[in-house]
Amino acid sequence: MGKRKKLEITRALATRPEMLLLDESFAGLNPVEQNDLIEIIRKIREKGITIMVIEHHMKVIMSISDRIVVLNYGEKIAEGTPGEIGNNPLVIEAYLGEAMDA
């Protein structure tokens, strides 16, 4: 599964986008594949491409994001840096279960 997701990203990058939208790209990946994809995303960012990620794996989001917008049932409940999001009571209740060190 990880190879297919990498191929999809490569195909998208072939169009030389200014912005890349990734929707649930980490779903179904094992931890090694997740780490590989995190590194790919970091390399893409280094090239100056903006990346917008829709994802439910909060630990992944916290590790790759500069800014995070959190939705719960279609309502925005928080926006900020990973540190702000990791300590936001509404986010903790909805997604994290406990405060995260970002």
Residues with active-site annotation? 24
Contact predicate 86/99, CB 8 Å = yes
- Report, as an integer, the average pLDDT of 74-87: 95
pLDDT tens for each residue of 1-22: 678 888 999 999 999 999 999 9
Query: Domains of the chain by range and CATH?
Result: 1-56 (3.40.50.300), 66-102 (no CATH)
pLDDT of residue 96: 67
- What is the DSSP secondary-structure string of 37-75? HHHHHHHHHHTT-EEEEE-S-HHHHHHH-SSEEEEETTE
pLDDT tens for each residue of 25-53: 998 899 999 999 999 999 999 999 999 99
What's the whole-model pTM score? 0.79
- 3 state SS of 76: strand
Contact predicate 87/99, CB 8 Å = yes
d(CA 53, CA 39): 14
d(CA 14, CA 91): 36
